[in-house]
Amino acid sequence: MNKIEYAKYLKSLMDGPEIDLDSDELADQFYGFFQCFMPRGEGIEKIFEPLRQGKELLQRLILIFEVTHQKTQRLLDNGVMPGYFCPEADCSEELLKKLGEQFIQDLRKANSFFKEPGLGELLAKVTEIEIIDDEPEVSDNYLNDYLSDVISDWAIANEDDADLTSLLCEAYYSINCDNYLGYYLRYPIFKKKPKNDFLKSYYEIWKHGYYCIFDAHKLIIYS
């Protein structure tokens, strides 16, 4: 099966907007694709049947539906079609701090693979975790930008553009408009990668209904 054939196959699975199979940016046509399977992900296993690592990818994606279906169903019952997958915010501050600490440690460990001395120095200075209710105004965004560049460069360099899964990159991003979440869910397909599943703790924070961002020496977790 080539990419055009797979695109046609994906189109046959969805009940939603038309897909332009002649588009030069075919992956863009599948932005919001997984939302077609809300709230419980019924039938998503068919997406992965033609893929080499389909079982591993399915195991990760199904978790998204498991942690969001109740909130999604409430919105649907009220006549609202959610644009994104958003879990309930339900987690103790103690657990959030543990997950935040784990995320920092996971990034430090992964940097032995990335080999970015500057990133290592910045991560070593992160010594505080703050839990707040609302999205913060970050005064120092340098670490976030640096980290995003390193991780995005790694992902782009280690994803096979000819592989069928590349058609789903925008579908993964559009789960919550979050590259890191998408990279975690696609982790099995990357060719070279850190031995530790370094974005799992990031996903764990998200699945509890929270987000996180760095501000200089601090990791801020917010809902």
CA distance linking residue 112 with residue 191, whole number of Å: 17
Dihedral sign, Cα of residue 101, residue 105, residue 106, residue 107? positive
- Mind listing the pLDDT tens digit for each residue in 51-91? 989 999 999 999 999 999 999 999 999 999 999 999 999 99
When pLDDT is cut at 50, 70 and 90, the band that residue 17 belongs to is low
When pLDDT is cut at 50, 70 and 90, the band that residue 19 belongs to is confident
CB within 8 Å of 212: residues ≥ 6 apart: 100, 103, 202, 205, 219, 220, 221, 222
When pLDDT is cut at 50, 70 and 90, the band that residue 162 belongs to is confident
With 90 as the cut, is the pLDDT of residue 92 above it? yes
Q: pTM score, two decimals? A: 0.95
Two tokens, residue 145: 């930008």
Q: What is the pLDDT of residue 161?
A: 87
Q: What is the pLDDT of residue 106?
A: 99
CA distance linking residue 37 with residue 69, whole number of Å: 10
Q: What is the pLDDT of residue 98?
A: 98
Q: What is the pLDDT of residue 65?
A: 99
Q: How many residues does the chain have?
A: 223
Mean pLDDT score, 31-47: 96
**pLDDT mean across residues, the chain:** 96
Query: What are the domain boundaries of the chain?
Result: 1-88+160-191, 92-158+193-223
With 90 as the cut, is the pLDDT of residue 115 above it? yes
CB–CB of 47/13 below 8 Å? yes
Mean pLDDT score, 171-195: 98
Q: Which phi and psi angles does 28 have, rounded to 5°?
A: -60, -25
With 80 as the cut, is the pLDDT of residue 150 above it? yes
